[in-house]
Amino acid sequence: MKITEHIDRAKGETLFSFEIIPPVKGRSIQELYDNIDPLMEFKPPFIDVTTSREEYVYIDKGGLYDKKITRMRPGTVGICSSIQHKYGVDTVPHLLCGGFTKEETEYVLVDCHYLGIDNVMALRGDAMKEEKYFRPTEGGHNYARGLVQQIRNLSEGKYLHETIETDDCSDFCIGVAGYPEKHLEAPSLQSDLKRLKEKVDAGADYVVTQMFFDNDKFFEFVKAARENGITVPIIPGIKPIAVKRHLQLLPQVFRIDLPQDLIDAVDVCSNNKEVRQVGVEWAIQQSKELKAQGVPVLHYYSMGKSDNIKAIAENVF
């Protein structure tokens, strides 16, 4: 079922969903199941599965190092299929511009269609770890807008190199990212909203936001999006702070502001266990306010661990 259909069927009730990261290669998928199992009692209608960019590794060749590209995590589509089969919930594989050609993207979409995966998240993706700025992959998309358009074209039987007449075209529900405090590369929030509107006009069906810790930033973002003609559902993304280092890391990496009350609460913690509890309590407060305002879904970034997400959900759902 499409994400938009889940939202419509909920008739105004706020749904629970979360996002997971595939385990690094060499690990069993059971590790993933162990973190999903505790969250199933909250009846998530869908689970997002991230896709990681390729990475450089250096192989020692007798004193000289050979630079190679590798992927450190297993395929997202295969994980999505296994989760759907095991739990009977919809999954949302993340598709990236970075690291994939248009042909490779088409292969992924064809596999999703065959496997009964109805939803995808279209993202530009980040720069590679060793690169300061995002660099488009040769033969790939520069921006998520083009990726959305390619996905939408398939619903009309328009493949990259041919048009196929069929009664069984794909019809993906497409999610895209939104940034309540603007994308770190955007010159202004208004210009960022214009880019978001372009993605929606290209065929995006819903928006999931980057993490934020001040609900007013989200409410202002939704208001501005509506004023710019963006009418699709906007889902808030919530990430509980887990370690003290997040005070420096999150603003640096994501260019977001942290409320002073949250900073003060974390500063007085003597260890990361206490920080984790502060993160849970803050996210509970955020979630209750967002739910009271009627957001369609509360989407949690689990980062592969479920204990803090479970603690939050127990107090909200």
Could you give the residue numbers annotated as active site? 19
Give the C-alpha separation, 44 to 16, whole Å.
5
Cβ distance 297 to 17 under 8 Å? yes
What is the number of residues in the chain?
317
Compute and round to an integer the Cα radius of gyration of the chain: 20
Structure tokens at 138: 């040769």
Structure tokens at 163: 């048009």
Cβ neighbors of 295 (< 8 A, separation 6 or more) are 14, 234, 235, 236
Cβ distance 128 to 97 under 8 Å? no
Angle at 223 between CA 123 and CA 181, to 5 degrees: 50
